[in-house]
Amino acid sequence: MSTSAPALAEPEAAIPADAPDAPSRHAAVRRTFAVISHPDAGKSTLTEALALHTGAVTRAGHVKGKAGRAGVVSDWQEMEQQRGISISSAVLQLDHHGHVLNLVDTPGHADFSEDTYRVLAAVDCAIMLVDAARGMERQTRKLFDVCKHRGLPVLTVINKWDRPGREALELMDEVAQVTGMTPTPLTWPVGVAGDFRGVVDRRTGGYTRYTRTPGGATIAEQEHLSPEQALEREGETWTTAVEEAELLAVENGDHDEEGFLAGRTTPVLFAAAVLNFGVDHLLETLLEHAPAPGPRPDVAGAPRALDTGFSGQVFKIQSGTDRAHRDRVALVRVCSGHFERGTPLTVARTGRTLTTKHAQHLQGASRTSIEESWPGDVVGLVGAAGIEVGDTLHARGAVEYPPIPSFAPEHFVVARPADLSRSKQFHKGIAELDAEGVVQVLRSDLRGEQAPVLAAVGPLQLEVASHRMAGDFSCPIRTEPLSYSVARRTTREHVQALTQQRGTEVLERRDGDLLAVFTDVWRMNGVVRELPGVVLEPLVADTTG
């Protein structure tokens, strides 16, 4: 990292769209998407199934799998492997039928919603995974709201159809009621939940019949049958599936591409990811219907054309992927232009120059050095110091993208070093966790630098922070829980009045925002009554009402 101020950014002429290496040409064959779901809906298993079907792995792993199966490639952290949950983002780049699929896996645990939100700022489409037995659960609803807020098209996959669950038509009604979108199934299950035989392709009327493989570790065998052959093979079960599929057409349940991209409809597929049933249809749908990367608006709202100079946004900073070196990797979504390894980049926030000698693709914990990337790709910049989540990086042709907002924290602890002689390591570690977005670090003059407040959406985030401080920075910490559960953004003119209220404190975040924190919603409402005109603005995705 150079500390000298760079020369003024030179404008860069747009590359002609018909040029052989025009970024827009490369973007057209890319699909960048995330999978969102409630915990235990099968997100990591689906991720592994997609990797299997595209040839990225030869055998699929399963979080709670049988002996002899490998662990999922997207769950690489020690805590993930110990607990069988996803608590970090992972990036997989998959090649399929001449297309590049950039799958940004997200944490399934509700405590890591903020990490998922950052991922959703870096993708063009989301797959909403719904458990066939449990339907639209709280975390799924919350993440769908984030997709809606960001204007992301949503594909819906009803997973675990191999297990007993609810009726398919009932689930369609729930998706419509909860999301406000019209579900438009592309496939329809043959056999009730728990008796998954195959699917009707509603576009062709044909039948894809699945046969499970041992443990679901390899691609399921398939037969493609005509409607007549399906009727002969499945009898009344086929007839029921066809009648239900026809009913959907009467209720405007046919696919509408314009409505899908505008967020009015959601294509629906039925699957059993653990058996690799329905995964092939999902891949076909991504290639055919998911949007390719397009121009992204900058902070002024002006779209940045794909064929202009390189620009990208940091959506995640990850540490510990290489346990031998405890390195730091910034994950950058390429937004425009052509990324070439070694090209100096400017950090828009600071104006400082960043070298890109160590640029890599991350497949979970494994890495591959890259020479170039295109819009929609995710580049891992190893050892990138001095940059933060939300930073814009650019080559010639200055640009800055809107910052990625933070969630409203709901859990707060005071952190102190367990060993006061390790104060230097303590400050370094806390600053690093803050920049990575592991937790939000809040400070005040009253508490001082030796006792920052760690704030998080869920308690497991705080546990990860403690684990990282002890392991990565050799500085175990002691934490003292605070009774606050609600945070609102306020202004400096109201600080004195707010701090005089019981059950209330004002803390400052690294970005300069002042957060008023309260013991609960009732205390906050009481403060509002006592201080008419006080500024208390909700933060992103606030769940306290």
CA proximity to 486, closest of 428, 438, 544 = 544
Is there a domain that residue 518 lies in? yes
Is there a domain that residue 279 lies in? yes
Residue 144 belongs to a domain with what CATH number? Answer: 3.40.50.300
Angle of CA points 466, 463, 446, to nearest 5°: 65
Within this chain, do residues 211 and 269 fall inside the same structural domain, yes or no?
yes
CB 98 within 8 A of CB 25: no
Q: How many domains does the chain have?
A: 3
Within this chain, do residues 509 and 385 fall inside the same structural domain, yes or no?
no
Using the structure block, give the residue that is written with the tokens 């040409």.
25
In this structure, the dihedral spanned by the alpha carbons of residues 325, 328, 331 and 336, taken in order and rounded to 10 degrees, is -110
Residue 342 belongs to a domain with what CATH number? Answer: 2.40.30.10
Within this chain, do residues 182 and 258 fall inside the same structural domain, yes or no?
yes
d(CA 246, CA 258): 22
pLDDT, residue 14, reads 66
Is there a domain that residue 11 lies in? no
Within this chain, do residues 253 and 367 fall inside the same structural domain, yes or no?
no
Within this chain, do residues 144 and 257 fall inside the same structural domain, yes or no?
yes
pLDDT, residue 342, reads 92
Mean pLDDT by 10 residues, the chain (545 residues): 40 62 95 90 89 80 40 46 48 92 76 76 95 90 83 96 96 95 96 96 95 84 95 96 89 90 96 95 97 96 95 86 66 96 94 90 76 95 86 92 86 96 94 88 90 92 91 94 96 95 94 94 96 90 46
Within this chain, do residues 463 and 493 fall inside the same structural domain, yes or no?
yes
Is there a domain that residue 403 lies in? no
pLDDT, residue 390, reads 92
Token pair in block for residue 303: 């779209």
Is there a domain that residue 255 lies in? yes
Is there a domain that residue 28 lies in? no
CA distances from 496 to 305, 479, 506 (A): 46, 27, 9
Contacts of 486 (CB under 8 A, 6+ apart): 408, 410, 517, 518, 519, 520, 521, 523, 524, 544
Domain end among 394, 426, 443: 394
pLDDT, residue 19, reads 72
Within this chain, do residues 375 and 449 fall inside the same structural domain, yes or no?
no
Could you give the residue ranges of the DSSP H alpha helices within 371-520? 423-436, 459-472, 495-499
Within this chain, do residues 256 and 353 fall inside the same structural domain, yes or no?
no
Using the structure block, give the residue that is written with the tokens 């390790």.
422
Residue 77 belongs to domain spanning: 37-289
Within this chain, do residues 387 and 419 fall inside the same structural domain, yes or no?
no
Domain end among 247, 264, 289: 289
Neighbours of 479 (CB within 10 A): 17
The whole-model pTM stands at 0.84
Which amino acid, 241?
A: A
Within this chain, do residues 351 and 479 fall inside the same structural domain, yes or no?
no
Domain end among 344, 359, 394: 394
Is there a domain that residue 301 lies in? no
Within this chain, do residues 63 and 116 fall inside the same structural domain, yes or no?
yes
Within this chain, do residues 345 and 381 fall inside the same structural domain, yes or no?
yes
Is there a domain that residue 539 lies in? no
pLDDT, residue 112, reads 64
Residue 452 belongs to a domain with what CATH number? Answer: 3.30.70.3280
